[in-house]
Every structure is written in structure tokens, then in C-alpha cells.
Amino acid sequence: MSQLLSEELLSILACPVCKADLQYNKDNTGLLCTKCGAKYPITEGIPVLLPPEMR
């Protein structure tokens, strides 16, 4: 499992596609946009917030 982000950091992160809030996915290995559903992995404790088409 990836290292969890602090609640403070998670509260300021936003989806780069639609600017909505992000939340952890079901297994806490990535972030999921609450609006558009885009998925962002967490690699070595760092969220990779590149839009899906740029990865």
C-alpha cells in the first residue's frame, strides 16, 4: 500500500482536468476525482497528477 497523504495536503489537491476534489480510491493506492472520475496513481508517496492522456 502507498504512503497515505496528510488530510491537509489532500484537502488542497484538485483534479487537473476538471478542478474537482480528489479522494482515495478503494485500496488507497491512488486518487480518484469526485466529479469526472479520472484516476491518479500515488508513486512512492507522491501523487502523479498528470492528466490520463499525458501518462
User: Is residue 51 included in any domain, yes or no?
Assistant: no
Domain assignment present for 38: yes
Residue 28 lies inside a defined structural domain of this protein: yes
In this structure, are residues 5 and 47 in contact, taking their beta carbons and an 8 Å threshold?
yes
> For the segment 4-27, what is each residue's pLDDT rounded down to a tens digit?
888 999 999 999 999 999 999 999
Give the residue numbers spanning the domain of 40: 7-46
Residue 13 lies in a domain: yes
pLDDT higher than threshold 90 for residue 52: no
**15 lies in a domain?**
yes
Query: Binning pLDDT at 50, 70 and 90, where does residue 34 land?
Result: very high
Burial degree of 40 (CB within 10 A; 0-12, 13-18, 19+): buried
Q: Is residue 54 part of a domain?
A: no
CA angle, corner 55, sides to 14 and 7, nearest 5? 30
The domain tally of the chain equals: 1
